[in-house]
Amino acid sequence: MAGMPAESRHVSERIDRPAAEVYEYVVDPVNIPSWAHGLGTAVQNVDGQWFVETGSGRVEVAFAARNEFGVLDHEVTLSSGEVVYVPMRVIADGSGSEVVFTVRRQPEMSDEDFARDAGLVQADLTRLRRILEAR
């Protein structure tokens, strides 16, 4: 329904690495292809802007300014010009951390597509954990 708030699902992964280390890895767009297969496969910096090649074309990814709070929110600008805001955080958890990614249901998205998107994000976060814990 128009005017209704979008449905969200918080997907998270505990990582046995310090939050600052996780943050530094994730905030660097160069690392996107290694862990975020759900977003894209190749990344390029063009005049300070980051572009990722996805299955549906090239998108721009812009993270929030570097910060000490673990905020990894980012905007993905689709080839159509539509901007998708993606909330994401890394939270200190003892000597480790937890990464929390908010998946938002897009307009006209079916229950199956919403569940599939959440599953893809979970797979990406699991991949991120494996990469960082192997270091």
| Inside any domain, residue 4 | no
- DSSP code string of 55-76: TTEEEEEEEPPP-TT-B--EEE
Q: Minimal CA–CA distance to 24: which of 75, 63, 78, 82?
A: 63
| Inside any domain, residue 119 | yes
Q: Minimal CA–CA distance to 17: which of 29, 8, 26, 7?
A: 26
| Inside any domain, residue 108 | yes
| Inside any domain, residue 3 | no
Q: How confident is the model at residue 1 (pLDDT cuts 50, 70, 90)?
A: very low
User: Do 132 and 34 contact (CB within 8 A), yes or no?
Assistant: no
| Inside any domain, residue 104 | yes
| Inside any domain, residue 127 | yes
Could you list the residue range(s) of the whole structural domain that residue 79 is in? 9-133
pLDDT per position as a tens digit, 56-88: 889 999 999 999 999 999 999 998 999 999 999
CATH code, domain with 90: 3.30.530.20
Structurally, the chain folds into a number of domains equal to 1
| Inside any domain, residue 102 | yes
First to last CA, the chain: 46
> For position 5, what pLDDT does the model report?
55
| Inside any domain, residue 52 | yes
